[in-house]
Amino acid sequence: MYYKNYFKNMRIGDSSMEGIICIDGVVGVGKSTLGEILSKEFGLIFFKEPVLDNPLLDKFYYDKKRYSFPLQVFFLNKRFEMIKEAEKLGGCVMDRSIYGDVIFAKMLMEDGDLSQEEFKIYEDLLYNMLEHLKKPKLMIYLETNVDNAISKIKSRGRDYEQIVERKYWENLNKNYTSYFENYNLSDVLVINVDNLDIRDNPEHKKWFIETVKEKLKKTCY
Domains of the chain by start residue, with CATH = 2-218 (3.40.50.300)
CB 153 within 8 A of CB 27: yes
pLDDT at residue 220 greater than cutoff 60: no
d(CA 172, CA 117) in angstroms, rounded, equals 22
- In this predicted structure, what is the pLDDT of residue 206? 96
Can 200 be counted among the known catalytic residues? Answer: no
Strand pairing partners for 94?
A: 22, 47
Parallel/antiparallel/unpaired status of strands 135-143 and 92-95: unpaired
Model confidence pLDDT, tens digit, residues 129-141: 999 999 999 999 9
- In this predicted structure, what is the pLDDT of residue 221? 41
**This prediction's pTM:** 0.91
pLDDT at residue 111 greater than cutoff 50: yes
- In this predicted structure, what is the pLDDT of residue 52? 64
Model confidence pLDDT, tens digit, residues 92-102: 999 999 999 99
| Average confidence score pLDDT of the chain | 90
pLDDT at residue 194 greater than cutoff 70: yes
d(CA 99, CA 209) in angstroms, rounded, equals 24
pLDDT at residue 158 greater than cutoff 50: yes
The residue annotated as part of the active site, out of 14, 24, 53, 95, is: 95
Name the residue with higher pLDDT: 221 or 133: 133
d(CA 15, CA 7) in angstroms, rounded, equals 16
- In this predicted structure, what is the pLDDT of residue 157? 59
pLDDT at residue 192 greater than cutoff 80: yes
Mean pLDDT of all residues in 171-183: 95
d(CA 48, CA 155) in angstroms, rounded, equals 20
Mean pLDDT of all residues in 185-192: 94
Sign of CA dihedral 155, 158, 160, 161: negative
Model confidence pLDDT, tens digit, residues 137-154: 999 999 999 888 888 887
Q: Contacts for 99-102 with beta carbons within 8 Å, 24 or more apart? A: 99/22, 99/130, 99/136, 99/139, 99/185, 100/24, 100/179, 101/72, 101/75, 101/76, 101/126, 102/6, 102/126
Among 5-14, 111-120, 184-193, name the one with the lowest average pLDDT: 5-14
Model confidence pLDDT, tens digit, residues 18-77: 889 999 999 888 899 999 999 999 999 999 887 767 888 888 878 889 999 999 999 999
pLDDT at residue 162 greater than cutoff 90: no
